Amino acid sequence: MARKKKADSGGASGAPAWMNTYGDMVTLLLCFFVLLYSFSTIDAKKFVDLAASMQNAFNIQPGAPDNSSRPGLITGSMGDGGGDASVNRDSTLSEKSSRVLALVQEAIKSENLEEEIQAVITERGVEIALSEQLLFVEGSARLRPEAMRMLYKIGRILDTLPNLLSVEGHTDSAILENSIYRDNWGLSAARASAVASYFNGSLGISGSRLRAVGFGSSAPIVPNVTEEMMRLNRRVDIVVMSEYSVR
């Protein structure tokens, strides 16, 4: 029986097949560490401004699902009034939102709190984001005395409106330690309730117009990568719901 010929050792030479896989792995690791480095040096404030601009451009709420197909949420024309009626309605809503936004921004500027409070217009309405540092003692839901002054100014503006007010608490992703709250869900809900309670008890805003919701860490505005970014995610949003927002 004929013996098999040995492979010609003098044939074409090249890297073993496993070297291709190894090279790909090293390249991916390099990209991964470059990405980590970029996150560690990013300007968080500029990141938030960019994110807000993109969210406004695409009419989306940070961390929220796409509601465009949900029944009851009206984002286009409605009724039998035709295109002109829809344009007029949208124009009226935009003018009202712009007036509210201008008043809120004036109040923010008067207290020199531009770094602690952000106000923008989204498809939900006017959203006012107040930082944890302004509102609360760290890890608690007790309002700071200085926070009540700003909440009073904002509340007086909102009290003149008929709109539903959604007060929404948010935290970062860090695990709570030595806290009376079991987790971030409890802390965010308690903080939202504290602000809603102040509006109702101290300013007389009707409870039928208020709702308090805790989102925990489920709706960050930036990734929870650095301490500065986590600080930005610890906030309470006050949303002046538009006429056609889902309740």
Give the distance between the most distant pair of CA atoms in the chain. 103
Mean pLDDT value across the chain: 79
Domain 83-247: give its CATH architecture.
Answer: 2-Layer Sandwich (3.30)
SS3 168: strand
Q: Which residues pair with 75 in a beta bridge?
A: none
Determine whether 245 is exposed, middle or buried from the number of CB atoms within 10 Å of its CB (0-12, 13-18, 19+): buried
Average pLDDT over residues 134-152: 93
End-to-end CA distance of the chain, in Å?
A: 86
Whether residue 105 is predicted with pLDDT greater than 90 in this model: the reply is yes
In contact, 51 and 222? CB cutoff 8 Å? yes
CA distance 35 to 148: 41
Selected residue with higher pLDDT from 109 and 91: 109
pLDDT at residue 77, rounded to an integer:
34
Whether residue 67 is predicted with pLDDT greater than 90 in this model: the reply is no
Average pLDDT over residues 193-202: 97
Reported as a pLDDT band with limits 50, 70 and 90, residue 70 is very low
Q: Which residues pair with 118 in a beta bridge?
A: 129
Whether residue 93 is predicted with pLDDT greater than 90 in this model: the reply is no
Burial 148-177 (b: 16+ CB within 10 A, else e): eebbebbbebbeebebbbbbbbbbbeeeee
pLDDT at residue 49, rounded to an integer:
62
> In this prediction, what percent of the chain has a pLDDT beyond 70?
69
CA distance 240 to 99: 12
